[in-house]
């Protein structure tokens, strides 16, 4: 089946079987290996990407369901020279150890900007309830996401963009 989607801003065409999972499309066809597969059962969040700006577990989405959508993966948010504020915050707060959960954690954290305005730590913990980390014990991740969200909000304010915090966008 022919599908067309934008991955990290690039328009791409694919001819895929309907049973291909989005995570497999991303890893094996687009060859972006930052999005991980942990559980393959919608439980761990290692495969979290953004579909039209909000988080989804790509092991439980068919690639064909994403036809026409904008997909953002960990590779699409920053560069080594200029990290995304959420990446910068994970770096600053030491929000990772082995790094396996990190791409999913960062994408889930970025997505929270659409739902939480000035989140308390408890709200962030609930916000990442679907992302498991075997290493850190979560405290540094929660701190990192708090800082990252505040930074994103400041940037959006500077640029006069409200959309990050517009809950109506959630579908």
Question: Among 136, 146, 148, 149, which residue interacts with ligand FES (rule: CB under 6 A)?
Answer: 136
Q: Judged by CB, which is closer to another protein: 45, or 76?
A: 45
Considering only residues 40-69, where is the footprint of another protein by CB under 8 A? 40-43, 45, 48, 51, 54-57, 60-62, 64-65, 67
163 binds ligand FAD (CB under 6 A): no
Between the CA of residue 149 and those of 17, 26, 163, 170, what are the distances in Å? 38, 26, 14, 17
Question: Among 12, 16, 37, 54, which residue interacts with ligand FES (rule: CB under 6 A)?
Answer: 37
18, interface contact from ligand FES, ligand FAD, another protein, none, CB < 5-8 Å by kind: another protein
* # residues contacting ligand FES (CB under 6 A): 23
Place of tokens 């969200």: 149
Q: Judged by CB, which is closer to ligand FES: 136, or 147?
A: 136
Contact residues for ligand FES (CB under 6 A)? 37-40, 42-47, 57, 59, 96-102, 133-136
């Amino acid at each position: 089946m022919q599908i067309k989607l934008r991955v990290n801003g690039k328009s791409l065409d694919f001819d895929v079987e309907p049973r291909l999972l989005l995570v497999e499309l991303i890893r094996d066809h687009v060859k972006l290996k930052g999005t991980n597969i942990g559980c393959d059962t919608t439980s761990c969040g290692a495969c979290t990407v953004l579909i039209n700006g909000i988080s989804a577990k790509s092991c439980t989405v068919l690639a064909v369901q994403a036809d026409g959508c904008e997909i953002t993966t960990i590779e699409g948010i920053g560069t080594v020279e200029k990290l995304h504020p959420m990446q910068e915050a994970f770096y600053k707060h030491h929000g990772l150890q082995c790094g396996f959960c990190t791409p999913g954690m960062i994408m889930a954290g970025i997505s929270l900007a659409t739902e939480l305005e000035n989140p308390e730590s408890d709200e962030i913990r609930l916000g990442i309830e679907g992302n498991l980390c075997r290493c850190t014990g979560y405290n540094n991740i929660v701190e990192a996401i708090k800082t990252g969200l505040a930074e994103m909000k400041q940037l959006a304010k500077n640029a006069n963009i409200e959309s990050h915090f517009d809950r109506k966008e959630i579908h």
